């Protein structure tokens, strides 16, 4: 898996990181020699607090410059043109202090979509996220679940090839979580590559095609979801699923 040989180039991973390192004050926050993400379904990143999950996500999205190492997308070094084909949804949705529709319009306008098409696209997106009829409402007056769905819709409005999600449902109740998951699964079915951090093992079971388990800044295990939940290959995987892995 370490090798970046010709055979692997043919089945090129969408995202890969090599020798990624971030340290602070002598301690290692992130140390990933190699990780390739390229399966057909969502990748779920699991791990205890402080395992480096969010850092890894931010590195792959180019929000954080690692101390060392490289991030690849489609076989090329991550650059601004790749960034434009990615989107990210944060744990706490950051909505502009504008109407629901204006939050989506902001992104569409930046992409140069003309007003007539923007209107139709906004209506379609709101319909998709179950927010139809709320277009004129102040985005920041939405409920937590609605706000996160709007944040996801805004990310999807960028037509991303890869969508990163950082614990998007950690503050939501089960019904709101279900609505967000449905939205993510539909995006995945349409071909958007999903890379999502979660603490929720049940959610990882429901959504994950493959599981990346992180521990203390390192990738402890990267397995197909079915294999991981049936029989984790590593001690860390077994400990995490049994609830024993806390740091």
Partner 1 sequence: MQGFAEEFRVAMGLIVSGDPELWAIVLLSLKVSLLAVLIAACIGMPIGAALAVGRFPGRRLVIVLLNALMGLPPVVVGLLVYLMLSRSGPLGVLQLLYTPTAMIIAQVLLVTPIIAALTRQTVETLDIEYTEQLRSLGVSRLASVPVLLWDGRLALLTALLAGFGRAIAEVGAVIVVGGNINHVTRVMTTTIALETSKGNLALALALGAILVGIAFVVTALVSMIGISREREVLHHA
**Binding of residue 110 to partner 1 (CB under 8 A):** yes
| Contact region with partner 1 (CB under 8 A), list: 15-23, 37-45, 122-130, 133-141 | 133-141
Tokens of 233: 């290959």
Neighbours of 75 (CB within 10 A): 12
The structure tokens listed for 54 are 């969010």
Nearest residue to 44 (alpha-carbon basis) of 214, 190, 176: 214
Long-range pairs for 3-10: beta carbons < 8 A, 24 or more residues apart = 8/36, 9/75
Those residues with Cβ within 8 angstroms of residue 147's Cβ, 6 or more apart along the chain or in another chain: 93, 95, 139, 140
Residues within window 72-91 making contact with partner 1, judged by CB under 8 A: 80, 83-84, 87-88, 90
For position 107 contacting partner 1 by CB under 8 A, the verdict is yes
Residues 171-200, mask of contacts with partner 1 (x by CB under 8 A): ------------------------------
Between 36 and 95, whose beta carbon lies closer to partner 1?
Answer: 95
Q: How far is the CB of 131 from partner 1 (least distance, A)?
A: 16
Q: Which of 18, 34, 63, 67 binds partner 1 (CB under 8 A)?
A: 63
Task: Tell me if 163 sits within 8 A of 88, measured CB to CB.
Answer: yes
Residues that bind partner 1 (CB under 8 A): 58, 61, 63, 80, 83-84, 87-88, 90, 94, 96-98, 106-107, 110, 138, 140-142, 147, 158
């Amino acid at each position: 898996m370490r090798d970046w040989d010709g055979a692997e180039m043919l089945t090129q991973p969408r995202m890969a990181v090599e020798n990624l390192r971030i340290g602070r004050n002598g301690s290692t926050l992130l140390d990933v020699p190699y990780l390739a993400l390229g399966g057909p379904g969502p990748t779920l990143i699991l791990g205890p607090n402080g395992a480096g999950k969010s850092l890894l996500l931010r590195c792959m999205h180019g929000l954080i410059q690692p101390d060392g190492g490289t991030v690849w997308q489609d076989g090329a070094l991550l650059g601004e043109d790749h960034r434009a084909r990615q989107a990210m949804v944060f744990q706490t949705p950051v909505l502009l202090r504008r109407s629901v529709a204006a939050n989506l319009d902001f992104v569409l306008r930046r992409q140069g979509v003309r007003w007539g098409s923007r209107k139709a696209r906004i209506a379609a997106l709101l319909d998709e996220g179950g927010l139809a009829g709320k277009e004129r409402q102040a985005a920041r007056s939405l409920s937590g679940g609605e706000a996160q769905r709007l944040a996801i819709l805004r990310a999807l409005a960028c037509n991303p090839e890869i969508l990163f999600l950082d614990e998007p449902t950690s503050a939501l109740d089960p019904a709101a979580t279900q609505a967000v998951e449905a939205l993510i699964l539909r995006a995945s079915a349409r071909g958007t590559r999903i890379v999502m951090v979660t603490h929720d093992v049940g959610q990882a079971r429901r959504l994950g095609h493959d599981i990346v388990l992180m521990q203390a800044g390192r990738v402890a295990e990267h397995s197909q979801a079915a294999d991981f939940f049936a029989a984790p290959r590593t001690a860390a995987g077994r400990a995490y699923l049994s609830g024993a892995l806390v740091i």
